[in-house]
Amino acid sequence: MQQANDTHSLLVGYVLWIFGFLGAHRFYFGRPVSGTIYLFTLGLLGIGWLVDLFLMPGLERSADRRYQSGELNYTVAWIFLVFLGVFGLHRFYQRKWGTGLLYLVSLGLLGIGVIYDFWTLNEQISAGNSERQYRS
């Protein structure tokens, strides 16, 4: 059964879990602190990574409750960030033309902007969805 505020995909979470020892699924579900810890400890030496296999549905429900659904799709934005972040495609997707161009010419501000966006993309999308909903 699909929730009214279905912002994140459990399937995408499991796909990212494959790379979970790098924290990808944790960043996607809005857990940047534990995502960073997983990145530097290889998923808590693999133990946290395995435990997350069973915690994934709860992580998805928590993200669905926490973030605002709307016109901007979290999964699309995350795909753009993960694969084309240095070119700013996720910023263009959010209609942030200025920073999109800046990322394009600076390779994501030499990667620092991309790291910042890993920490804040969910909040950026949620704020964008709230703003667009307010204008409607």
The pLDDT tens digits for 54-86 are 999 999 999 999 999 999 999 999 999 999 999
Asked if residue 17 has pLDDT above 50, the reply is yes
- The two tokens of residue 3 are 């929730």
pTM over 0.85: yes
| C-alpha–C-alpha distance, residues 53 and 56, integer Å | 6
Instruction: Compute the mean pLDDT over every residue in the chain, rounded to the nearest whole number.
Output: 93
- The two tokens of residue 55 are 């915690």
Asked if residue 135 has pLDDT above 80, the reply is no
Asked if residue 2 has pLDDT above 70, the reply is no
* Structure confidence at residue 1 as a pLDDT band (50, 70, 90): very low
Asked if residue 32 has pLDDT above 80, the reply is yes
Return the pLDDT at 136: 66
Say if residues 132 and 71 touch (Cβ distance below 8 Å): yes
Say if residues 27 and 82 touch (Cβ distance below 8 Å): no
Backbone angles phi, psi at 29, to 5 degrees: -85, 10
| C-alpha–C-alpha distance, residues 122 and 8, integer Å | 10
Q: What is the dihedral of CA 75, 77, 83, 86, to 10 degrees?
A: -160
